Amino acid sequence: MENMLKNIKIVLLAFTAGIAGAWVFQQFSNNEMVTETNEALFRETPKYQVGYVEAPREVVDNPISFVEASEKSTPSVVFIKNFSGTDQRRYSIFDYFFGTGPNQRVSTGSGVIISKDGYIITNNHVVDRAETIEVVHQKRTYTAKLIGTDKNTDIAVLKVETDNLPAIQQGSSRNLKIGEWVIAVGNPFNLTSTVTAGIVSAKERQINILGGEFPLESFIQTDAPINPGNSGGALVNIRGELVGINTAILSRTGSYTGYGFAVPVDIAMKIANDLIKFGEVQKAIPGLEAVEITPELAEEMGLKTLDGVIITHVVRGGASEKAGLQRNDVITKIENIDITGKGTFEEVLSYYYPGDNIRIQFQRKNENKTAQLALQNLEGGTGIIKREYFSSNILGAQLEAVNTLEKDRLGIDFGIKITGMTRGYLRDLGLNNGFVITQINGDPARNPEEVGKFLEKFSGRLRLEGVSPNGQPFMQSYNVR
């Protein structure tokens, strides 16, 4: 019995010791795992910690305000209505029985008051082919007179008979910086006095949209939203000063999709002042043609920079030929203004008048040179000119004398060009816009009015000689009754 109790004690003691040993082993194992885990976490945790403390919400005022600019500029922007002829394509016999019959087409745009006595600047395409033009300003409607247009810059000037209009304050597009805030003021989608904001995205843009004989493209590019109806409206800086005339948008849909383009105010106002004072833009001609410098041209000519323009043609007897400039010369500066491309080149020249003398810096075979150039007018002189036109409903066209550059391009000494063609006598003869008549029955064609009146009254055998727009000579005989 005594031995049995002794054995039981030994078993219980061994069992107890086993349980105690297992408990101790488990505790040591857990400590090692925790230590390894902590060491691993320590190795992966950065040596710094960021504490996130929620700051009280505050309203931060925008440092740029467009209120002052809007208040200054919106009273100077007008709504323009262009009433033109009946659009026959939109009407059928059903319109006569079930509708109101043919109506005039009405297109709309914007304009900017530039003088208190009623002169308004807008785009040429806003008033193109207008029979009647109305200007709406502060709920009052005025009939406007078209003073003049310029297709080369898409600028037009109107005049309304009233006084004390709020003329806009003019700024400077030459001093405008890329990244500067601007606002567009106009009447998009017939919504009057609409203001949108953006920045100047680029300058001296050429997008090849303008017509005319000498298109001048050096647009201000902006991301201020511009839509149909904004054309002719104001682009102003944050001081409310006019810096551009909104003209075009880059869009596949016809609505704003990212970028708009404006004619720089320094160009637009020079054109407007010419139209008001002379009735004709006094364009200063350097007597040359030039192109942008591409990487390929730079490599071919061994040029070290892509800045400047390359002369591709010098007009016979023109200002550049007289100054000694030659083909392949690279113009780098005009009056110490750097020429970075064709946009800069054309914009700088647009500020001058025929007769002005300018200093040109250029490179010839990488050698720096200078020349003094006396700018000419379209007739090859240096004075103010007023181009002569003869309009005729019978002929269905407008006739004008060819200018110096056209004479050089076509290789002729004189001629009368056909423009603005509609239905009429000249179209029946098979002639089109751009044809130049040089001889009529063997006599030289020099004066538009003399040629026009002769053709209106002539009957019998008619022989015309001249040049087509692409430079091909033509000679045609007709029996005219």
Q: What residues are labeled active site?
A: 125, 154, 231
89, exposed or middle or buried, with CB in 10 Å at 0-12, 13-18, 19+? Answer: exposed
* CA distance linking residue 239 with residue 6, whole number of Å: 109
* CA distance linking residue 157 with residue 119, whole number of Å: 7
The sign of the dihedral angle between the CA atoms of 112, 115, 117, 122 is negative
* CA distance linking residue 124 with residue 137, whole number of Å: 20
Please identify which residue in the block is written with the tokens 């309304």: 160
Q: Are 221 and 173 in contact (CB under 8 A)?
A: no
Strands of 223-317 (E only): list them. Answer: 234-237, 242-250, 259-264, 288-292, 309-314
Q: Any alpha helices (H) in 118-218, and if so which ranges?
A: 124-127
Selection from 371, 366, 308, 359 nearest residue 334 by Cα: 359
* CA distance linking residue 108 with residue 276, whole number of Å: 23
Q: Are 305 and 292 in contact (CB under 8 A)?
A: no
Selection from 272, 347, 277 nearest residue 114 by Cα: 272
Instruction: Write out 253-277 in H/E/C secondary structure.
Output: CCCCCCEEEEEEHHHHHHHHHHHHH
Selection from 225, 209, 186, 189 nearest residue 107 by Cα: 189
Selection from 355, 379, 376 nearest residue 446 by Cα: 379
Tell how strand 416-419 and strand 155-159 pair up: unpaired
* CA distance linking residue 260 with residue 266, whole number of Å: 18
